[in-house]
Structure 1
Amino acid sequence: MATVVSAKRELRKRMKQILSGISDESISLQSKHVFNHILASKEYQESRTIACYVSMPSGEIQTDSIIHAALADGKALYVPRIVREPPTTDSKTQISYMQFYRIYDRDDYERNLISGVWGIREPSPKFNDLPRSTVFDQGSRGLDLILMPGMAFDREMARLGHGKGYYDQFIAKYRLYASTNGWSKSNLVALGLSEQIMEPGTIPMTEYDIHVDTLVTKGGFHTKD
Protein backbone atom coordinates (compact mmCIF):
# COMPACT_ATOMS: atom_id res chain seq x y z
CA MET A 1 0.00 0.00 0.00
CA ALA A 2 2.81 2.43 0.91
CA THR A 3 4.43 1.79 -2.47
CA VAL A 4 1.17 2.54 -4.30
CA VAL A 5 0.65 5.76 -2.33
CA SER A 6 4.19 6.90 -3.15
CA ALA A 7 3.78 6.02 -6.83
CA LYS A 8 0.52 7.96 -6.99
CA ARG A 9 2.16 10.97 -5.36
CA GLU A 10 4.96 10.98 -7.93
CA LEU A 11 2.55 10.59 -10.83
CA ARG A 12 0.44 13.49 -9.55
CA LYS A 13 3.54 15.69 -9.44
CA ARG A 14 4.37 14.75 -13.02
CA MET A 15 0.81 15.30 -14.20
CA LYS A 16 0.62 18.67 -12.47
CA GLN A 17 3.61 19.83 -14.51
CA ILE A 18 2.16 18.44 -17.73
CA LEU A 19 -1.28 19.97 -17.19
CA SER A 20 0.13 23.38 -16.30
CA GLY A 21 1.76 23.51 -19.73
CA ILE A 22 -1.43 22.97 -21.76
CA SER A 23 -2.71 26.16 -23.37
CA ASP A 24 -6.22 27.47 -22.80
CA GLU A 25 -6.76 27.24 -26.56
CA SER A 26 -5.94 23.52 -26.59
CA ILE A 27 -8.20 22.82 -23.62
CA SER A 28 -11.04 24.76 -25.24
CA LEU A 29 -10.67 22.88 -28.54
CA GLN A 30 -10.44 19.47 -26.89
CA SER A 31 -13.45 20.33 -24.71
CA LYS A 32 -15.51 21.13 -27.82
CA HIS A 33 -14.67 17.74 -29.32
CA VAL A 34 -15.59 15.95 -26.08
CA PHE A 35 -18.84 17.94 -25.87
CA ASN A 36 -19.80 16.80 -29.39
CA HIS A 37 -18.95 13.16 -28.61
CA ILE A 38 -20.98 13.19 -25.39
CA LEU A 39 -24.10 14.76 -26.91
CA ALA A 40 -24.04 12.37 -29.88
CA SER A 41 -23.69 9.31 -27.65
CA LYS A 42 -26.34 6.76 -26.76
CA GLU A 43 -25.23 7.04 -23.13
CA TYR A 44 -26.20 10.71 -23.02
CA GLN A 45 -29.28 10.58 -25.23
CA GLU A 46 -30.88 7.73 -23.28
CA SER A 47 -30.06 9.15 -19.86
CA ARG A 48 -32.66 10.91 -17.74
CA THR A 49 -30.45 11.72 -14.76
CA ILE A 50 -26.85 12.92 -15.01
CA ALA A 51 -24.15 13.77 -12.50
CA CYS A 52 -21.45 15.99 -13.95
CA TYR A 53 -18.40 17.62 -12.42
CA VAL A 54 -18.03 21.39 -12.61
CA SER A 55 -14.66 21.98 -14.22
CA MET A 56 -11.71 23.75 -12.67
CA PRO A 57 -10.55 26.95 -14.42
CA SER A 58 -7.73 25.02 -16.16
CA GLY A 59 -6.10 21.62 -16.56
CA GLU A 60 -9.13 19.52 -17.49
CA ILE A 61 -12.01 19.16 -19.94
CA GLN A 62 -14.40 22.07 -19.46
CA THR A 63 -18.00 21.08 -18.73
CA ASP A 64 -20.08 24.27 -18.89
CA SER A 65 -21.38 23.41 -22.38
CA ILE A 66 -22.33 19.87 -21.34
CA ILE A 67 -24.16 21.18 -18.28
CA HIS A 68 -26.01 23.83 -20.30
CA ALA A 69 -27.05 21.21 -22.87
CA ALA A 70 -28.23 18.73 -20.22
CA LEU A 71 -30.40 21.38 -18.60
CA ALA A 72 -31.79 22.49 -21.97
CA ASP A 73 -32.55 18.85 -22.85
CA GLY A 74 -34.58 18.38 -19.68
CA LYS A 75 -32.15 16.05 -17.91
CA ALA A 76 -32.19 15.92 -14.12
CA LEU A 77 -28.72 17.30 -13.44
CA TYR A 78 -26.61 16.96 -10.30
CA VAL A 79 -23.24 18.59 -9.58
CA PRO A 80 -20.82 18.03 -6.68
CA ARG A 81 -20.20 19.93 -3.49
CA ILE A 82 -17.67 19.10 -0.78
CA VAL A 83 -19.53 18.83 2.52
CA ARG A 84 -17.59 19.40 5.73
CA GLU A 85 -18.96 18.06 8.98
CA PRO A 86 -17.75 19.73 12.20
CA PRO A 87 -15.74 17.63 14.68
CA THR A 88 -17.80 15.73 17.25
CA THR A 89 -17.12 14.79 20.87
CA ASP A 90 -16.15 11.31 19.64
CA SER A 91 -13.85 12.53 16.89
CA LYS A 92 -11.73 15.65 16.82
CA THR A 93 -11.14 15.27 13.09
CA GLN A 94 -13.27 17.16 10.60
CA ILE A 95 -15.02 14.84 8.16
CA SER A 96 -15.46 15.87 4.54
CA TYR A 97 -17.16 14.06 1.69
CA MET A 98 -18.64 14.75 -1.72
CA GLN A 99 -22.37 15.04 -2.29
CA PHE A 100 -24.22 15.69 -5.56
CA TYR A 101 -26.93 18.36 -5.53
CA ARG A 102 -29.68 19.02 -8.07
CA ILE A 103 -29.35 22.00 -10.42
CA TYR A 104 -32.78 23.07 -11.61
CA ASP A 105 -32.13 25.30 -14.60
CA ARG A 106 -29.47 27.40 -16.31
CA ASP A 107 -30.23 30.44 -14.18
CA ASP A 108 -29.72 28.35 -11.04
CA TYR A 109 -26.39 27.13 -12.43
CA GLU A 110 -25.19 30.61 -13.36
CA ARG A 111 -26.35 32.38 -10.20
CA ASN A 112 -26.18 29.94 -7.30
CA LEU A 113 -22.75 28.36 -7.54
CA ILE A 114 -19.95 29.71 -5.36
CA SER A 115 -16.20 29.16 -5.47
CA GLY A 116 -15.05 26.24 -3.33
CA VAL A 117 -12.04 23.91 -3.19
CA TRP A 118 -9.41 24.55 -5.92
CA GLY A 119 -11.55 27.37 -7.30
CA ILE A 120 -14.25 24.93 -8.37
CA ARG A 121 -17.78 26.32 -8.32
CA GLU A 122 -20.13 24.45 -6.01
CA PRO A 123 -23.91 24.62 -5.57
CA SER A 124 -25.33 26.46 -2.61
CA PRO A 125 -26.86 24.01 -0.10
CA LYS A 126 -30.26 25.69 -0.48
CA PHE A 127 -32.49 26.62 -3.41
CA ASN A 128 -35.30 29.14 -2.87
CA ASP A 129 -34.65 28.93 0.89
CA LEU A 130 -35.24 25.17 0.96
CA PRO A 131 -32.64 22.37 1.19
CA ARG A 132 -31.40 21.49 -2.28
CA SER A 133 -32.21 17.93 -3.40
CA THR A 134 -29.45 15.31 -3.53
CA VAL A 135 -29.17 12.04 -5.44
CA PHE A 136 -30.00 10.15 -2.23
CA ASP A 137 -33.23 11.97 -1.45
CA GLN A 138 -36.53 10.11 -1.45
CA GLY A 139 -38.03 10.26 -4.93
CA SER A 140 -34.68 10.29 -6.68
CA ARG A 141 -34.47 7.93 -9.66
CA GLY A 142 -30.75 7.33 -9.32
CA LEU A 143 -28.11 8.33 -11.85
CA ASP A 144 -27.99 7.00 -15.40
CA LEU A 145 -24.72 8.73 -16.27
CA ILE A 146 -21.84 10.02 -14.13
CA LEU A 147 -19.30 12.27 -15.87
CA MET A 148 -16.04 12.27 -13.93
CA PRO A 149 -12.78 14.25 -13.97
CA GLY A 150 -9.31 13.05 -13.02
CA MET A 151 -5.61 13.88 -13.24
CA ALA A 152 -4.74 10.90 -15.44
CA PHE A 153 -6.29 7.81 -17.02
CA ASP A 154 -5.04 4.73 -18.83
CA ARG A 155 -6.46 2.37 -21.44
CA GLU A 156 -7.45 -0.12 -18.75
CA MET A 157 -9.91 2.52 -17.48
CA ALA A 158 -7.84 3.21 -14.37
CA ARG A 159 -8.21 6.72 -12.99
CA LEU A 160 -5.87 8.89 -10.92
CA GLY A 161 -7.72 11.46 -8.84
CA HIS A 162 -6.38 14.38 -6.84
CA GLY A 163 -5.73 12.26 -3.76
CA LYS A 164 -8.71 12.97 -1.53
CA GLY A 165 -10.72 9.92 -2.57
CA TYR A 166 -13.95 11.88 -2.93
CA TYR A 167 -15.15 10.20 -6.13
CA ASP A 168 -14.14 6.68 -5.08
CA GLN A 169 -15.96 7.10 -1.77
CA PHE A 170 -19.05 8.61 -3.37
CA ILE A 171 -19.32 5.90 -6.02
CA ALA A 172 -18.87 3.11 -3.46
CA LYS A 173 -21.64 4.63 -1.32
CA TYR A 174 -23.83 5.27 -4.35
CA ARG A 175 -23.50 1.70 -5.65
CA LEU A 176 -24.52 0.28 -2.27
CA TYR A 177 -27.49 2.64 -2.07
CA ALA A 178 -28.48 1.92 -5.67
CA SER A 179 -28.44 -1.85 -5.17
CA THR A 180 -30.58 -1.49 -2.05
CA ASN A 181 -33.14 0.63 -3.92
CA GLY A 182 -33.18 -1.39 -7.13
CA TRP A 183 -31.69 1.34 -9.31
CA SER A 184 -30.00 0.41 -12.56
CA LYS A 185 -26.22 0.57 -12.89
CA SER A 186 -24.78 3.99 -13.69
CA ASN A 187 -22.40 4.53 -16.59
CA LEU A 188 -19.12 5.91 -15.22
CA VAL A 189 -17.65 8.07 -17.97
CA ALA A 190 -14.40 9.97 -17.51
CA LEU A 191 -13.58 13.03 -19.61
CA GLY A 192 -9.90 13.49 -20.41
CA LEU A 193 -7.46 15.65 -22.30
CA SER A 194 -5.17 13.75 -24.66
CA GLU A 195 -2.23 14.71 -22.41
CA GLN A 196 -3.88 12.86 -19.51
CA ILE A 197 -3.96 9.46 -21.22
CA MET A 198 -1.29 6.99 -20.07
CA GLU A 199 -0.19 3.58 -21.30
CA PRO A 200 -2.05 0.56 -19.84
CA GLY A 201 -0.88 -0.31 -16.35
CA THR A 202 0.71 3.10 -15.74
CA ILE A 203 -1.68 4.21 -13.00
CA PRO A 204 -1.18 2.48 -9.63
CA MET A 205 -4.45 1.21 -8.18
CA THR A 206 -5.65 -0.23 -4.88
CA GLU A 207 -8.73 -2.33 -4.17
CA TYR A 208 -10.56 0.85 -3.17
CA ASP A 209 -9.90 2.71 -6.43
CA ILE A 210 -12.75 2.76 -8.93
CA HIS A 211 -12.23 1.96 -12.61
CA VAL A 212 -14.43 3.91 -15.02
CA ASP A 213 -16.52 2.20 -17.70
CA THR A 214 -15.60 4.54 -20.53
CA LEU A 215 -13.12 7.30 -21.29
CA VAL A 216 -13.93 10.16 -23.66
CA THR A 217 -11.22 12.27 -25.29
CA LYS A 218 -11.09 14.47 -28.38
CA GLY A 219 -10.75 11.23 -30.36
CA GLY A 220 -14.03 9.79 -29.11
CA PHE A 221 -15.15 7.01 -26.76
CA HIS A 222 -12.64 4.46 -25.45
CA THR A 223 -13.25 1.28 -23.47
CA LYS A 224 -10.86 -1.19 -21.88
CA ASP A 225 -8.33 -2.62 -24.35
Structure 2
Amino acid sequence: MSSTTLDLGAESQLSDKKAVRKKLHGLLSSLPSDHVQRQSVNATNLLLSLPEYKNARSISIFMSMPSGEINTRHLTKHALSSGKHVFVPYIYKPKEPRQDNLPTSIMDMLQLADEEDYASLLPDKWGIPSIPKETVSDRASSFGGKGVSDGDSPVPDAAGLDVILMPCMAFDQDLNRLGHGKGYYDNFLTRYCSAQTADGQNRKKPFL
Protein backbone atom coordinates (compact mmCIF):
# COMPACT_ATOMS: atom_id res chain seq x y z
CA MET A 1 0.00 0.00 0.00
CA SER A 2 1.35 3.41 -0.88
CA SER A 3 1.52 6.09 1.79
CA THR A 4 1.78 9.84 2.09
CA THR A 5 4.15 11.59 4.49
CA LEU A 6 2.91 14.95 5.67
CA ASP A 7 5.65 17.38 6.71
CA LEU A 8 4.54 19.10 9.89
CA GLY A 9 7.68 21.16 10.22
CA ALA A 10 8.71 22.46 13.63
CA GLU A 11 5.15 22.15 14.97
CA SER A 12 5.53 18.38 15.08
CA GLN A 13 7.92 18.85 17.99
CA LEU A 14 5.49 20.91 20.04
CA SER A 15 3.41 19.54 22.88
CA ASP A 16 0.55 21.71 21.64
CA LYS A 17 -1.46 19.09 19.78
CA LYS A 18 -4.09 21.69 18.91
CA ALA A 19 -1.60 23.52 16.68
CA VAL A 20 -0.52 20.28 15.06
CA ARG A 21 -4.11 19.27 14.40
CA LYS A 22 -4.85 22.66 12.85
CA LYS A 23 -1.99 22.28 10.40
CA LEU A 24 -2.90 18.68 9.66
CA HIS A 25 -6.50 19.65 8.99
CA GLY A 26 -5.34 22.08 6.32
CA LEU A 27 -3.01 19.52 4.76
CA LEU A 28 -5.60 16.75 4.73
CA SER A 29 -8.32 19.04 3.39
CA SER A 30 -6.08 19.96 0.48
CA LEU A 31 -5.55 16.37 -0.66
CA PRO A 32 -7.18 15.72 -4.07
CA SER A 33 -10.28 13.53 -3.85
CA ASP A 34 -8.85 11.01 -6.32
CA HIS A 35 -5.79 10.63 -4.09
CA VAL A 36 -7.98 9.96 -1.05
CA GLN A 37 -10.02 7.48 -3.07
CA ARG A 38 -6.90 5.55 -4.14
CA GLN A 39 -5.61 5.44 -0.59
CA SER A 40 -9.04 4.28 0.60
CA VAL A 41 -9.03 1.40 -1.89
CA ASN A 42 -5.48 0.43 -0.92
CA ALA A 43 -6.23 0.55 2.80
CA THR A 44 -9.45 -1.42 2.39
CA ASN A 45 -7.81 -4.13 0.29
CA LEU A 46 -5.00 -4.46 2.81
CA LEU A 47 -7.42 -4.80 5.70
CA LEU A 48 -9.54 -7.38 3.86
CA SER A 49 -6.42 -9.51 3.43
CA LEU A 50 -5.54 -9.59 7.13
CA PRO A 51 -6.37 -12.75 9.10
CA GLU A 52 -7.53 -10.56 11.99
CA TYR A 53 -10.29 -9.20 9.75
CA LYS A 54 -11.08 -12.49 8.03
CA ASN A 55 -11.48 -14.29 11.35
CA ALA A 56 -13.36 -11.48 13.09
CA ARG A 57 -16.98 -12.09 14.05
CA SER A 58 -17.63 -8.63 15.52
CA ILE A 59 -15.99 -5.47 14.26
CA SER A 60 -16.28 -1.77 15.09
CA ILE A 61 -15.88 0.56 12.10
CA PHE A 62 -15.71 4.35 12.23
CA MET A 63 -18.01 6.18 9.86
CA SER A 64 -15.90 8.39 7.62
CA MET A 65 -16.22 12.08 6.89
CA PRO A 66 -16.95 13.15 3.28
CA SER A 67 -13.32 14.17 2.70
CA GLY A 68 -9.86 14.22 4.24
CA GLU A 69 -9.76 10.65 5.57
CA ILE A 70 -10.03 7.02 4.52
CA ASN A 71 -13.50 6.20 3.22
CA THR A 72 -14.96 3.22 5.11
CA ARG A 73 -18.10 2.75 3.03
CA HIS A 74 -16.90 -0.26 1.00
CA LEU A 75 -15.40 -1.89 4.08
CA THR A 76 -18.63 -1.51 6.05
CA LYS A 77 -20.68 -3.03 3.24
CA HIS A 78 -18.20 -5.89 2.85
CA ALA A 79 -18.29 -6.68 6.57
CA LEU A 80 -22.10 -6.67 6.62
CA SER A 81 -22.40 -8.81 3.50
CA SER A 82 -19.88 -11.25 5.01
CA GLY A 83 -22.15 -11.81 8.00
CA LYS A 84 -19.97 -10.00 10.52
CA HIS A 85 -21.53 -8.12 13.42
CA VAL A 86 -20.78 -4.48 12.61
CA PHE A 87 -20.81 -1.83 15.33
CA VAL A 88 -20.53 1.90 14.61
CA PRO A 89 -20.05 4.95 16.84
CA TYR A 90 -22.95 6.73 18.51
CA ILE A 91 -22.12 9.96 20.36
CA TYR A 92 -24.49 11.26 23.02
CA LYS A 93 -24.76 13.03 26.37
CA PRO A 94 -25.10 10.54 29.25
CA LYS A 95 -27.96 11.00 31.65
CA GLU A 96 -27.52 12.84 34.93
CA PRO A 97 -25.97 12.40 37.36
CA ARG A 98 -22.81 11.64 35.43
CA GLN A 99 -19.76 9.92 36.87
CA ASP A 100 -17.22 12.47 38.12
CA ASN A 101 -14.63 11.60 35.50
CA LEU A 102 -17.06 11.24 32.60
CA PRO A 103 -16.94 13.78 29.73
CA THR A 104 -20.02 15.79 28.78
CA SER A 105 -20.41 13.69 25.62
CA ILE A 106 -19.33 10.08 25.23
CA MET A 107 -19.37 7.38 22.56
CA ASP A 108 -20.75 3.85 22.52
CA MET A 109 -20.67 1.30 19.71
CA LEU A 110 -24.08 0.16 18.46
CA GLN A 111 -24.83 -2.55 15.93
CA LEU A 112 -26.03 -2.15 12.36
CA ALA A 113 -28.66 -4.70 11.36
CA ASP A 114 -27.75 -5.08 7.70
CA GLU A 115 -26.78 -3.20 4.53
CA GLU A 116 -30.24 -1.66 4.25
CA ASP A 117 -29.91 -0.32 7.78
CA TYR A 118 -26.48 1.11 6.92
CA ALA A 119 -27.84 2.77 3.77
CA SER A 120 -30.58 4.44 5.84
CA LEU A 121 -28.14 6.35 8.06
CA LEU A 122 -28.36 10.11 7.58
CA PRO A 123 -25.37 12.49 7.67
CA ASP A 124 -24.82 14.58 10.79
CA LYS A 125 -23.55 18.19 10.75
CA TRP A 126 -20.09 16.93 9.73
CA GLY A 127 -21.49 14.79 6.93
CA ILE A 128 -20.84 11.55 8.82
CA PRO A 129 -23.48 8.77 8.53
CA SER A 130 -25.11 8.56 11.96
CA ILE A 131 -27.54 6.33 13.82
CA PRO A 132 -30.99 7.95 14.32
CA LYS A 133 -31.72 8.64 17.98
CA GLU A 134 -35.11 6.95 17.81
CA THR A 135 -33.51 3.59 16.88
CA VAL A 136 -30.85 3.54 19.61
CA SER A 137 -32.79 1.62 22.27
CA ASP A 138 -33.39 -1.31 19.90
CA ARG A 139 -29.75 -1.73 18.88
CA ALA A 140 -27.27 -4.18 20.38
CA SER A 141 -24.37 -2.53 22.20
CA SER A 142 -20.74 -3.62 22.27
CA PHE A 143 -21.08 -3.46 26.06
CA GLY A 144 -23.82 -6.08 25.95
CA GLY A 145 -27.56 -5.58 26.07
CA LYS A 146 -29.27 -2.89 24.02
CA GLY A 147 -29.07 0.88 23.82
CA VAL A 148 -26.47 3.20 25.33
CA SER A 149 -24.43 2.51 28.45
CA ASP A 150 -24.71 6.05 29.89
CA GLY A 151 -21.06 5.78 30.85
CA ASP A 152 -21.36 2.57 32.81
CA SER A 153 -18.99 -0.25 31.92
CA PRO A 154 -21.07 -3.41 32.07
CA VAL A 155 -19.27 -6.64 31.29
CA PRO A 156 -19.46 -7.24 27.52
CA ASP A 157 -20.70 -10.47 26.03
CA ALA A 158 -18.02 -13.16 26.03
CA ALA A 159 -17.37 -12.76 22.31
CA GLY A 160 -16.71 -9.01 22.48
CA LEU A 161 -15.27 -6.96 19.64
CA ASP A 162 -12.56 -8.69 17.62
CA VAL A 163 -11.43 -5.61 15.66
CA ILE A 164 -11.80 -1.87 16.28
CA LEU A 165 -11.07 0.52 13.41
CA MET A 166 -10.39 4.07 14.57
CA PRO A 167 -10.08 7.34 12.64
CA CYS A 168 -6.92 9.39 12.98
CA MET A 169 -5.27 12.50 11.59
CA ALA A 170 -1.77 11.03 11.61
CA PHE A 171 0.61 8.45 13.03
CA ASP A 172 4.17 9.13 14.13
CA GLN A 173 7.08 6.82 13.32
CA ASP A 174 6.32 4.77 16.42
CA LEU A 175 2.70 4.29 15.26
CA ASN A 176 1.28 6.49 18.00
CA ARG A 177 -2.11 7.77 16.87
CA LEU A 178 -3.13 11.43 16.74
CA GLY A 179 -6.92 11.63 16.77
CA HIS A 180 -9.25 14.55 16.22
CA GLY A 181 -8.89 15.74 19.81
CA LYS A 182 -12.32 15.00 21.25
CA GLY A 183 -11.17 12.00 23.28
CA TYR A 184 -14.13 9.82 22.31
CA TYR A 185 -12.04 6.76 21.47
CA ASP A 186 -9.72 7.19 24.46
CA ASN A 187 -12.73 7.19 26.77
CA PHE A 188 -14.46 4.32 24.98
CA LEU A 189 -11.36 2.10 24.96
CA THR A 190 -10.71 2.77 28.64
CA ARG A 191 -14.27 1.78 29.56
CA TYR A 192 -14.40 -1.15 27.16
CA CYS A 193 -11.07 -2.70 28.13
CA SER A 194 -11.75 -2.29 31.85
CA ALA A 195 -15.12 -3.98 31.36
CA GLN A 196 -13.43 -6.87 29.57
CA THR A 197 -11.69 -7.88 32.79
CA ALA A 198 -14.31 -6.74 35.31
CA ASP A 199 -15.59 -10.26 35.96
CA GLY A 200 -12.10 -11.73 36.25
CA GLN A 201 -12.31 -13.57 32.95
CA ASN A 202 -9.49 -11.54 31.34
CA ARG A 203 -10.98 -11.83 27.88
CA LYS A 204 -8.93 -11.17 24.77
CA LYS A 205 -8.53 -7.55 23.75
CA PRO A 206 -9.63 -6.41 20.28
CA PHE A 207 -7.21 -5.89 17.41
CA LEU A 208 -6.87 -2.10 16.93
Q: Distance in 2 between matches of 1:89 and 1:46?
A: 37
Q: Distance in 2 between matches of 1:89 and 1:133?
A: 22
**For residue 55 of structure 2, what is the amino acid of its counterpart?**
E
Q: Please, what is the CA RMSD of the aligned residues?
A: 2.5
Shift of 1:155: 2.5
Structure 1: segments with no counterpart, 5+ residues: 189-225
Q: In structure 2, do the counterparts of structure 1 residues 130 and 14 end up closer, same or farther at CA, with 3 Å as the change threshold?
A: closer
Q: Helix, strand or coil: the match of 1:95? A: coil
Q: Helix, strand or coil: the match of 1:118? A: coil
Q: In structure 2, do the counterparts of structure 1 residues 100 and 89 end up closer, same or farther at CA, with 3 Å as the change threshold?
A: closer
Q: In structure 2, do the counterparts of structure 1 residues 12 and 89 end up closer, same or farther at CA, with 3 Å as the change threshold?
A: closer
* Larger strand share, 1 or 2: 1
Is 1:115 paired with 2:123? yes
Shift of 1:89: 10
Please list, as runs of the form range in 1=range in 2, the aligned pairs for 1:1-225 lying within 5 A after superposition.
7-85=16-94, 95-111=104-120, 113-116=121-124, 118-127=126-135, 131-138=138-145, 140=157, 141-181=159-199, 182=201, 183-188=203-208
Q: Distance in 2 between matches of 1:187 and 1:88?
A: 33
Q: Helix, strand or coil: the match of 1:149? A: coil
Q: In structure 2, do the counterparts of structure 1 residues 164 and 5 end up closer, same or farther at CA, with 3 Å as the change threshold?
A: farther
Q: Which has the higher contact order (CA 8 A, sep 6+)?
A: 1
TM-score normalised to structure 2 length: 0.79
Q: Helix, strand or coil: the match of 1:109? A: helix
Q: Runs (4+) of structure 1 moved beyond 3 Å?
A: 85-91
- Number of positions where the alignment pairs a residue of Structure 1 with one of Structure 2: 182
